[in-house]
Structure 1
């Protein structure tokens, strides 16, 4: 007993001490209980005799680790299993909740690991049911907790269990026990419906939700994802789901409980609404189930109960969103009461759009529902009206109006606060919304133009001023940003069914013309002095997005040469073909690269668009005809493109030179290659003439970093023996000594060594068989010799340096890249000329 008292004191320090050294000492002293199997009997003694909950927690957690990490004898595991059940039955109601939870986890882990070892482990459901029939609420709670933990344990992999064995156990459990547990959850819900003990109701709802969320087919569903697809409930569950009381119990619980219980009821309904269509024996059964869902959701809309709670609101939007996934429009319109349901959903959507601050993360599901409905209209048969013509234009206009209203609030420049900077949320909304626009494109297109033109006019007028209110301009630019994003999204779906009609192409031209007019204004007058403003950067990123989608639909490789679009653009702006349009795009790219010196986001987005254009076969050829592109290829220096000098944008240089390399090598001219490399040659000459005494200056450092990033971009663009040979001959032997000098002088500076080593890793990568030299050529041996010198020079120096706090960035990363270089070199020994 004296030893037990000492142990309890140690456990108290382990779980409660604020002193880390004291906790570490306690942990080290008590480690034997979870590591040494001889201490299992000691854990049982502690459970029997300890007075403090922390000692009980130690015994339980130690046994859990023993069961998970060691292959214990079957009889021992059965003894533990039986003991824990009896322990919970006799002492469970008086235990601290965290101790109970740990013991239940131990019980379920033993059950799972022994599922195929002995039939007695499979009696876990029957044993748990005994707790539900013992009459006390404490035992009832323990029974529900065991079943909750059991379903969770069976549904998730364990470190101590191979994944294949886990799946076999999960499938066996699904077939033998899960349905029974789900029935028990429903029975409990009905039994507890009038019970004021919300804790029991919560456990019963949680159990039902866990059963419905089970990974029925072993697809390892990512529960962090909002979209989980169809729930593959087994056919044996059919009678229970076709019973209307099953669905109704969750609607009832939503109405009689408050959050978070009501949210759990909605989560169960979301799962039930996602049940696979083939579960139902015929169309009549499925229609009855759908009608029940529609009636239940309609009653919630009519009463508005619970929707003032944000979590309920969000989950209810998810529930409505499931109608678009699992049911066809033709099924919905044939349900009695459809007209009332669709009207209420439309009103709910309109209110949600007006409450954009509160409901912004939920609107995605509503827009998804409406986009799916309008996409199904062409396939709708029969006389039943869909009523979408009446409601969709209102939703479209409300969305546009709400976006304009949102900018009046004046968000801070913090990227996490402004909706235009929440890329995922913006993408979610703009993925669905264009389908609504194109459904009644003439009216929605006119509405967009009517909203945009006064704002564009105001923006044009302010360009002529000397100064202007900064906040006023930010609001105007935010409105324009929203419109440009919306137009870009509309163009993005141009290739979808029904969107390529000539009348729609004319409307595409009308909307695109407004954005192209805006481009003429953004870089003129007062606005040409505002590249440091966040609101202008957002607008320019939206314009780049517009160009990306416009190009895919109307310029180059996959695009149709649409006479209707270009005929209308010719009338409006004089742009009669895609070469002229491409010139506008490249002009904006060049302007961004010249004027943005500190916005890494805008530079990266601009270069991404430039690379897309250059790497397209047809658009790449067209680019070479443009004077602006010829200028960029010939004058890629910091004087013309100041972002090259900005260190925070130095990573963007690789993409810039990758693009330039694409364009250079497309011309297939050694003379053109050498002339285009002249700016880089000047950097080489300058660094090579720098004396060793001043080679460790910041000027040399930044020049070397930039040069290595540039060379890596050029090397990435070489995709054939011919183009690689041009770069190799240009670098070797003249400039290789500088690379070796750089690594030897700057070994202790990862800012320099990382880009240098990454360039070399790219240079020795034999993609597309580009490193295939002639059999009589010594180049392979010479290259391997240079690589060896570099690795030896870096390796001998970096290993001798002391280890700093951030050892990965300082040492490990460089060593990893060096090993990558060596591996690539060794892999291609034959290619490099070794036999």
Structure 2
């Protein structure tokens, strides 16, 4: 037993040793101590009587390693000796054993033995026998593979990847081979009792866990299911080929009960996704042929595929097969592939007719196979006649399946896929490619079903249920027609395709007119909403393909639309559903998104302005429910997009009719005067309902933000700003007075404050140089002075507010700090405000604004604001431009704010380039001040604001700030994987120069050398000379 003096020396050496040899000897001694029988007594002695803090650190680490080893051994023995433990006890203990093994996987004693790896060989041997103990062995192996694949348990990602990679290289293949050997016994077994099935099920889980391992050390995005290749190591290739692994897993389909077949298919999904370069040409063809043969055998006996899980995984195999292999490779399989294609066509047709029994994701995977096959027809250099013949059959079957599904949804009360618009659009993207392979056949099938459903919908005497079915069918058919239009831009379309497009668009437009007439006399229901989405989807696809600045006029298409009075693009650009759907947020957002897209191009705007509906809209935009009423805040958010789209139209209209601006703004002016009058009364609660005026202010600010965002012409924007200051009546408060009063009343209500501040951020945005006026104009200064008052009012009141509950803290307290930072950034980045002359005539508006913004920024340092990306980007963007353009202010700011800038730079991990730019600008300024020649200061003060020297006081009070920044940057450049080395190197020279005189840079170099192995220190010391 060692005495306490020896243990203290050992602990101090381990924690402070500069000499690499001394450290190595101490670590070997510690390993012997842990392996000895007196380890616990030594650790307790260190804890009780050891020298602080070294003894406690060493003792805690040794105890952790000792306990891990002892507990791991005990758990393994405990589980093997008690194979009949309930699952709720077994499973957590297996996971605990795997976790302990993971932590100690790379630890070895003085003899070089890896104690935590040794039991794995015993577990492998144990798992090979179909006994209760063998079942425990398989559970342990499953837990080990899953645990090694988790990015948990370590603070360092590099350590996790090192352990995961070591396990992959040394153990994973052996474990996979054990699972294969077990599964190979299944077809040979005479009977499969419950215990044997449980044993085989665990082996299936193990094989999947092995093939699903993160081989490349990069976690794949599971949401991108079809884009993931399995990066199996090269040394696995002989096992996959020689053991005929694919054939073996397909053999399991015929011997296992249907409840667990999906587990075998899961591994096949991974195997078919193996990177193609793993095999050479011959082996790759053999590997692919084994899949083709296996799939064909399954389709020849498809009874077990009726089980939903089996069907789902089988469809995934098909989808991955085409994603990973080209048509030319599939065709090389000869008759086997031809037979598979015939069976697969029949299987797809039958499956689609029963699609209500399966999940829509299963259908998606099945259709993705056919979509990829259809997409390859245009470039495949092999005989694809069989594929070309099969795809129209699949397309027709899919159309009929959607019609049948509508009936099953209504009559069978099953889940309606139309409720998930995202999934529907993904499915339609696949249908687009499939339908365009034989567009004539697709259109004929769509039109036939459309006419049948439309006849039922408008037929007298039809039951409500049948009408509902017909309406659902029309929704699917219109959606599929829209998807067909989406493929118009593909190669090979001509005049015939224009005729077919006209056929479908004509019917949809006619139906739209009929349903709009119904909506005028009755209240819309849930199915009407789905139908409206289908209309919008088709209109959007029609816009994308037929009404763009690049598209030419499709004469044959419009010949089909002529009976409806639509002879050109102008006739199509009629958006009339806003009067019916102003209170439905989803439809409103979709409609306004379509309007926004339509007003994105100059030619489209010209077309829109020719329509009577748009002219009425521009002159009566305040009559719609979502604009006239102020009831729902979520719907009011749409008004910004609405007015942004309208203002793009107004910009073009003003070119020919300048006086139209006043006419367009008239309804908003009325609102403005009403709100201003209420505020001038001084007592809102007595004059009008407080909630109503608050909601009116919210909607009003959102309207103006939309107008401001799209008012990009200099003269038009000047007219808008003049309106903001006068609103047509000099006796009424201007916009900024209304803002200030609103902030005073509702400072604690972010629903009011946020739209106000975001409007300010938009007003000072110098879009297309709209704020750069001639020399005789003072508009930029006047605008900023008013905005400064609003920001100061908001900031002063916000800082005095009490705390709020955690769930409201971000929205009510810190979110708008980012908006304030964005306002200052927009002002300075716009390069239109001559703030440099403010100090000459004593105007403190810029200083006051920066003061209050930095107070908000300093308050923000108490928060973990880096978890909010938008806020982080705004704050660091603000710091970047202020340190660049406002050096006089930075030099005179209070020390706590100056140091807060450095603290913010030091903690940043999301905007490293911006942080380095901020640091470089501050360091450059400090260096220039320190090296400035006498007399230069007085000359500089002749043409810009005098600078201060508070930054000197800040560095005197916090002398370690620069040293900490230097160490942080050097550590990242030297020891971490930095993608922006150029950005990080910019402030480095300045930091080195500023810390060299105090000796801190030399201290940093010495510390760096001490951390290196002894045999490297001399060479590195030579390299650093002159740096």
TM-score under structure 1 length normalisation = 0.82
- Change in 2 beyond 3 A, CA 1:121/1:797: farther
Contact 1:221 1:228 in 2 (8 A): no
Residue matched to 2:365: 365
Please state how far the C-alpha of 1:735 moved relative to its aligned partner.
2.0
Summarize deviations over 1:474-522 as a string: whole Å, max 9, x none.
3332222111101100111222233x23322222222222222222322
The question of 1:577 aligning with 2:546 is answered: no
- Change in 2 beyond 3 A, CA 1:346/1:752: same
Contact 2:328 2:380 in 1 (8 A): yes
1:89 to 55, 76, 88: 76
Taking the TM superposition and a 5 Å limit, the aligned residue runs for 1:553-568 are 553-568=545-560
Summarize deviations over 1:211-263 as a string: whole Å, max 9, x none.
11122223421235543422222222211222353113322333333355321
Taking the aligned partners of 2:580 and 2:62, their CA distance within structure 1 comes to 76
Taking the aligned partners of 2:648 and 2:347, their CA distance within structure 1 comes to 51
Please state how far the C-alpha of 1:741 moved relative to its aligned partner.
1.4
Residue matched to 1:490: 484
- Change in 2 beyond 3 A, CA 1:182/1:132: closer
Please state how far the C-alpha of 1:449 moved relative to its aligned partner.
1.6
Residue matched to 2:229: 230
Summarize deviations over 1:287-313 as a string: whole Å, max 9, x none.
222222122222222222432321112
Structure 1 unaligned blocks of 5 or more: 1-40, 46-69
Contact 1:765 1:824 in 2 (8 A): no
Taking the aligned partners of 1:106 and 1:765, their CA distance within structure 2 comes to 57
Contact 2:252 2:261 in 1 (8 A): yes
Taking the aligned partners of 2:481 and 2:775, their CA distance within structure 1 comes to 56
- Change in 2 beyond 3 A, CA 1:236/1:772: farther
- Change in 2 beyond 3 A, CA 1:822/1:211: same
Contact 2:330 2:337 in 1 (8 A): yes
SS in 1 for 2:432: helix
SS in 1 for 2:397: helix
Taking the TM superposition and a 5 Å limit, the aligned residue runs for 1:590-669 are 591-638=576-623, 644-645=628-629, 647-648=631-632, 649-667=635-653, 669=655
The question of 1:506 aligning with 2:499 is answered: yes
1:434 to 432, 435, 442: 432
- Change in 2 beyond 3 A, CA 1:722/1:107: farther
Contact 1:277 1:326 in 2 (8 A): yes
Residue matched to 1:356: 355
Taking the aligned partners of 2:713 and 2:149, their CA distance within structure 1 comes to 50
Taking the aligned partners of 1:700 and 1:447, their CA distance within structure 2 comes to 55
Taking the TM superposition and a 5 Å limit, the aligned residue runs for 1:169-180 are 169-180=163-174
Please state how far the C-alpha of 1:619 moved relative to its aligned partner.
1.1
Taking the aligned partners of 1:368 and 1:203, their CA distance within structure 2 comes to 31
Please state how far the C-alpha of 1:265 moved relative to its aligned partner.
0.8
Structure 2 unaligned blocks of 5 or more: 1-33, 39-56, 727-733, 837-1027
The question of 1:254 aligning with 2:257 is answered: no
SS in 2 for 1:708: helix
Please state how far the C-alpha of 1:76 moved relative to its aligned partner.
4.9
- Change in 2 beyond 3 A, CA 1:131/1:151: closer
Contact 2:739 2:756 in 1 (8 A): yes
Taking the aligned partners of 2:547 and 2:252, their CA distance within structure 1 comes to 55
- Change in 2 beyond 3 A, CA 1:137/1:828: same
Taking the aligned partners of 1:71 and 1:433, their CA distance within structure 2 comes to 65
Larger radius of gyration: 2
Deviates more, 1:431-440 or 1:106-115: 106-115
2:161 to 142, 164, 167: 167
Taking the aligned partners of 2:717 and 2:178, their CA distance within structure 1 comes to 69
Contact 1:594 1:643 in 2 (8 A): no
Taking the TM superposition and a 5 Å limit, the aligned residue runs for 1:278-289 are 278-282=277-281, 284-289=282-287
Taking the aligned partners of 2:430 and 2:215, their CA distance within structure 1 comes to 30
- Change in 2 beyond 3 A, CA 1:458/1:209: closer
SS in 2 for 1:231: coil
Residue matched to 1:52: none
Taking the aligned partners of 2:235 and 2:176, their CA distance within structure 1 comes to 12
2:813 to 812, 815, 822: 815
Taking the aligned partners of 1:356 and 1:205, their CA distance within structure 2 comes to 28
Contact 1:298 1:344 in 2 (8 A): yes
Please state how far the C-alpha of 1:684 moved relative to its aligned partner.
0.5
Residue matched to 2:184: 190
Contact 2:475 2:534 in 1 (8 A): yes
Taking the aligned partners of 2:417 and 2:357, their CA distance within structure 1 comes to 12
Taking the TM superposition and a 5 Å limit, the aligned residue runs for 1:451-530 are 451-457=449-455, 459=457, 470-498=464-492, 500-524=493-517, 526-530=518-522
Taking the TM superposition and a 5 Å limit, the aligned residue runs for 1:405-444 are 405-409=404-408, 411=410, 417-444=415-442
Taking the aligned partners of 1:812 and 1:318, their CA distance within structure 2 comes to 42
Taking the aligned partners of 2:756 and 2:612, their CA distance within structure 1 comes to 33
- Change in 2 beyond 3 A, CA 1:527/1:786: closer
Alignment RMSD (CA, Å): 3.4
Taking the TM superposition and a 5 Å limit, the aligned residue runs for 1:307-326 are 307-326=305-324
- Change in 2 beyond 3 A, CA 1:502/1:696: same
Please state how far the C-alpha of 1:622 moved relative to its aligned partner.
2.3
SS in 2 for 1:377: coil
- Change in 2 beyond 3 A, CA 1:369/1:600: same
Residue matched to 1:208: 207
- Change in 2 beyond 3 A, CA 1:71/1:221: farther
Please state how far the C-alpha of 1:552 moved relative to its aligned partner.
1.0
Please state how far the C-alpha of 1:710 moved relative to its aligned partner.
0.9
The question of 1:692 aligning with 2:682 is answered: yes
Please state how far the C-alpha of 1:379 moved relative to its aligned partner.
3.6
- Change in 2 beyond 3 A, CA 1:775/1:461: farther
Summarize deviations over 1:172-228 as a string: whole Å, max 9, x none.
433333223322322333357646423332222212111111222234212355434
Taking the aligned partners of 1:642 and 1:812, their CA distance within structure 2 comes to 28
Taking the aligned partners of 1:169 and 1:662, their CA distance within structure 2 comes to 58
- Change in 2 beyond 3 A, CA 1:768/1:215: farther
Taking the aligned partners of 1:170 and 1:765, their CA distance within structure 2 comes to 50
Deviates more, 1:774-783 or 1:349-358: 774-783
Contact 1:757 1:814 in 2 (8 A): no
- Change in 2 beyond 3 A, CA 1:457/1:468: closer
Please state how far the C-alpha of 1:375 moved relative to its aligned partner.
2.2
Residue matched to 1:27: none
Taking the aligned partners of 2:226 and 2:475, their CA distance within structure 1 comes to 28
Contact 2:705 2:758 in 1 (8 A): yes
Contact 2:76 2:97 in 1 (8 A): no
SS in 1 for 2:378: helix
Taking the TM superposition and a 5 Å limit, the aligned residue runs for 1:815-834 are 815-828=813-826, 830=828, 831=831, 832-834=833-835
- Change in 2 beyond 3 A, CA 1:130/1:688: same
Contact 2:436 2:487 in 1 (8 A): no
Residue matched to 1:683: 671
The question of 1:674 aligning with 2:654 is answered: no
Residue matched to 1:717: 710
Taking the aligned partners of 1:393 and 1:273, their CA distance within structure 2 comes to 27
Taking the aligned partners of 2:409 and 2:142, their CA distance within structure 1 comes to 46
SS in 2 for 1:133: helix
Summarize deviations over 1:40-76 as a string: whole Å, max 9, x none.
x9xx99xxxxxxxxxxxxxxxxxxxxxxxx9997755
Taking the aligned partners of 2:509 and 2:419, their CA distance within structure 1 comes to 23
Deviates more, 1:696-705 or 1:721-730: 721-730
Taking the aligned partners of 1:125 and 1:727, their CA distance within structure 2 comes to 74
Residue matched to 2:141: 147
Contact 2:409 2:415 in 1 (8 A): no
